[in-house]
Structure 1
Amino acid sequence: MHLAVYLPLLLPLFAVPAARPLADRLEPRLATWLLTVGAVVLAAGSTTVLGLLALAGLVRIPSVAELAHLSPAVLHRDDPAQTSVAVVAGLLLLVVVTVGSRFLYRRVRAVCAAVLEAACFPGQDPLVVMDEVTADAFAMPGLPGRIVVSTGMLATLDATEREILLTHERAHLRGHHYLFAAAAQLAAVANPLLRPLAAQVAYTVERWADEAAASATGDRRRVAVTVGKAALASKHSGGRRRLPATALGLLGRARHNRLDTAGPVPRRVAALLSSRPAGGSWRAGAVTAYLAFAALCTVEATHDLHELLKRAKGG
């Protein structure tokens, strides 16, 4: 195994600074796909490399090498990985598998609960109005998917703004946005360095739905006003999403005043008050090339270990 095996562990570091610029400058649908696929590819690469390093250390144990009919001399001569590195990789891999399995179990259970709850609402109408004074709105995946809106939210918005809200939530259902968020979050669990990418995916799926509402109404400023009104109503009424992990809604929280460090709602409003992002083909091409390089590094590392084991088998 060559020292290039460590590259998939380092590549996520270079992806983090690019996450927010991609989310802000690319068309939201494209940004969501690139960031999600990027997070998954980088997490898969780093996890695979941990497994390769751990396996390389495992086969160097004399009893294991003897059981697999491998030559310990060849393994020690051709494998540059130190035993200490293999031990650390094995421990990290154990942590990744444990927390990843736990996250996946919880997410699948949450989605199943959402689907079941959506199916329990009477009728086939995708719109469900809850008699609650708190302002709330979210989309629930299911067959059929549901858009749940509280009477408190409906009272806050006028007729046009209600239609904007419903168009936004329908975009979440059509685009299966909860799957993008879940995939990016699973990647971040596997590799905490990718948390900024997962955070940007949570933002870009909202931007994706915002742009769908803007395209449907033809009034970007009105959509921006609706986003702001819904967020303020939710904040002041104490509304909370019932299924925050799986039901992505129109709401968000304003955290900062400066745009460069702003929370999702101010960023969304600012984006809607400017022109729709277009182009960015060179950025998409650069990201694609970067991810292809990361995948090739992982494949090369796997090939190197395979060749090492072949030599040790023959030696």
Structure 2
Amino acid sequence: MFDHFVWSVLVAPALVAVAVRVLADRLAPGRAARVVAWSAAATAVGSMINLLVFTLVAVAETPAAAEAFGWSARTVHDDTAQVAWVPWLSVALLAGAAGAVAVRARRHRRTLAEARRYSDGTATVLVLPDARPQAFAVPGRPGRVVVTTGMREQLSEPQFDAVIAHERAHLEAGHHRLVAVADVAAASHPALWWVARHVGYLVERAADEQAARAVGSRRTVAHAIGTASLAGAPAAGLGLHAAARPGVVPRRVASLLRPPRQAGWPWYVLPAALAASSLVWTVEAVVDFFELLASASLPG
């Protein structure tokens, strides 16, 4: 069973992160965001189930559990005797991961609830009288784009149209869900932290490309992003989606000022295949655990 732990908890998450970093700007951003986010989620699930299996091993090898359920604690212990620290380390890791996931999920729900207060009940584009330069998308039915007067005053008419198109692209594609999925996955495993950050970048790039198609000019969108950034809006003003960090805006602008890249399907398969392999090994770990209990329950 230890080999399943090594692959699903230690190796696969790190390889997914490396694969995403290597493929950073090789993939069409919209499709890549979906593949990367759900690959991170699958990898996180595989890791946590493996931790759960070894946590159950730790419980099963205690005399109290063995007596209650009628199996041999010695048989269970002997199965992992060479790595006796793994089951008990898994108890601590699982508790930490579960707690972090719960906190992160609750934070996303709270952020979304707070954002939805920006609504007048009818308008799909809401302009707020606020000097702070901000623009962001608020998911819902219907979704809304919120722009402050401080942001509106910084933009020319074509740039304003580009910002609105960008935010609408977030709403139409449900990017907030992908960001939440990746962020919660990252809470479960530190190796997935980079993956979650890259999903945030990819949804911004996807919205940039959609906005460029909507307004008919990649250069206009690039100028709008640069103007919004200089005005002080967080990563071009995307309150629910952006992770404002140095270097993101220049990369987005540079991408818009060159022809879009299209990658072949094998590049998309790589992170998905790594995530799938983690799930396969996880299923094997579960099967091995029940076989171990069955063996420990045999007489003699």
The corresponding residue for 2:126 is 128
The structural deviation recorded for 1:165 is 0.7
Task: Name the count of aligned residue pairs.
Answer: 298
Structure 2 unaligned residues grouped into runs of 5+ = none
CA distance 1:312–1:43, change in 2 (3 Å): same
Report what 1:223 is aligned to.
Answer: 221
**What displacement does 1:239 show?**
11
Cα distance in 1 for partners of 2:111, 2:204 equals: 20
Post-superposition offset of 1:158: 1.2
> Contact (CA 8 Å) 1:75, 1:308: kept in 2 or not?
yes
Taking the aligned partners of 1:99 and 1:81, their CA distance within structure 2 comes to 30
AA aligned to 1:108 is R
| Percent identity of equivalent pairs | 34
For residue 283 of structure 2, what is the aligned residue in structure 1? 299
1:219, 1:167 → 2: CA distance? 12
Equivalent residues in 2 for 1:242-257 (5 A)? 244=239, 247-248=240-241, 253=244, 255=246
Q: Deviations over 1:193-233 (max 9, x none)?
A: 11000000010010110010111122111211111111111
Higher deviation after alignment, 147-156 or 106-115: 106-115
Contact 1:164-1:223 at 8 Å conserved across structures: yes
Of 295-304 and 19-28, deviating more is 19-28
Cα RMSD (Å) = 2.1
Match of 1:233 among 231, 234, 240: 231
- TM-score (structure 1 length as normaliser): 0.88
Secondary structure of 2:127's counterpart equals: strand
Amino acid at match of 1:215: R
Aligned residue in 1 for 2:152: 154
| Structure 2 counterpart of 1:277 | 261
- Show the counterpart of 1:110: 111
Secondary structure at the counterpart of residue 138 of structure 1: strand
In structure 2, do the counterparts of structure 1 residues 96 and 2 end up closer, same or farther at CA, with 3 Å as the change threshold?
Answer: closer
Pick closer, same or farther for the CA change 1:40–1:254 going to 2, 3 Å: closer
Distance 1:198 1:189 in 2: 9
Q: Equivalents in 2 of 1:195, 1:314: separation in Å?
A: 44
Counterpart Cα distance in 2 of 1:289 and 1:82: 28
| Cα separation, 2, equivalents of 1:240 and 1:272 | 14
Query: Match of 2:84?
Result: 83
With structure 2 as the length reference, what TM-score do the two structures score? 0.92
Aligned to 1:196: 194
Number of the residue aligned with 1:11: 12
CA distance in 2, matches of 1:132, 1:78: 64
The question of whether the paired residues in 2 share the 8 Å contact of 1:22 and 1:31 is answered with: no
How far apart, CA to CA, are the structure 2 residues paired with 1:129 and 1:228? 21
- Range with bigger deviation, 226-235 or 17-26: 17-26
- Return 3-12 or 88-97, whichever deviates more: 3-12
Equivalent position of 1:62 in the other structure: 63
Q: Which residue of 2 aligns with 1:258?
A: none
Tell me the residue number matched to 1:26. 27
